[in-house]
Amino acid sequence: MSDLERRADAGRRTEETAVDVSLSLDGQGLSEVRTGIGFLDHMLSALARHARFDLKLACTGDLGIDDHHTAEDCALALGEAIDKALGERRGIRRFGAAYAPLDEALARAVVDLVARPWASVDLGLRREKLGTLACENVAHVIRSLAMAARVTVHVDVLKGENDHHRTEAAFKALALALRQALARDGSNHIPSTKGRM
């Protein structure tokens, strides 16, 4: 990986999952995502599309137990690939903020690519599951992604009645905020008064 290419591969192997990720931050929004969890595939594909990542992600996991390990490990592997692709984080805007609606739902995401991981996620989901993805794991995916990518993320769903809409709006808002923060600013500077991220 180089800062010019902004591409990276990542993998995660445990006794619970095997994940392979190939990522370009400067793509066309093309994705091939196969996690074994349909709704997670849908959300990660939406993230890639609206962040304009080119993403290949494949996972085999212990779905016979439940969805937790697969959801978490896919997020951790994708976050690691984002971190690697960012390199020293030179010449980027660093901050991003976006709103995304989906019908009656409205979500807000604010990100800082500072290399200090933090995540605050408030989705207000009421259902137990979306497809075969437990709703408790939706926020966990966003938090795991933020921790592994070493970014600060705040995601809030401001309103909405339908949990599918609320979740999809959240992922789209996150994607748009990441796209903004990842944009090159024309410099070769690390965007921090500390001189490092």
Q: Mean pLDDT, the chain, as a whole number?
A: 95
User: Taking Cα atoms as reference points, which of 40, 46, 6 lies closest to residue 23?
Assistant: 6
3-class secondary structure, 44: helix
pLDDT tens for each residue of 172-188: 999 999 999 999 998 88
- Dihedrals phi, psi of 138, to nearest 5 degrees: -65, -55
pLDDT of residue 78: 98
CATH of domain 7-182: 3.30.230.40
User: Taking Cα atoms as reference points, which of 51, 91, 95, 112 lies closest to residue 185?
Assistant: 91
CA quadruple 146, 33, 100, 91: dihedral, nearest 10: 50
Locate tokens 């976006």: which residue?
98
- Dihedrals phi, psi of 21, to nearest 5 degrees: -130, 135
Q: What is the pLDDT along the chain (197 residues), one digit of tens a residue?
A: 444 789 999 999 999 999 999 999 999 999 999 999 999 999 999 999 999 999 999 999 999 999 999 999 999 999 999 999 999 999 999 999 999 999 999 999 999 999 889 999 999 999 999 999 999 999 999 999 999 999 999 999 999 999 999 999 999 999 999 999 999 998 888 776 566 66
Beta strands in 35-94 (DSSP E): 54-61
- Dihedrals phi, psi of 129, to nearest 5 degrees: -140, 155
Domain ranges of the chain: 7-182
pLDDT of residue 1: 41
pLDDT tens for each residue of 37-75: 999 999 999 999 999 999 999 999 999 999 999 999 999
Q: Is the dihedral of CA 193, 196, 24, 146 positive or negative?
A: negative
- In the chain, the N- to C-terminal Cα span, in Å, equals 18
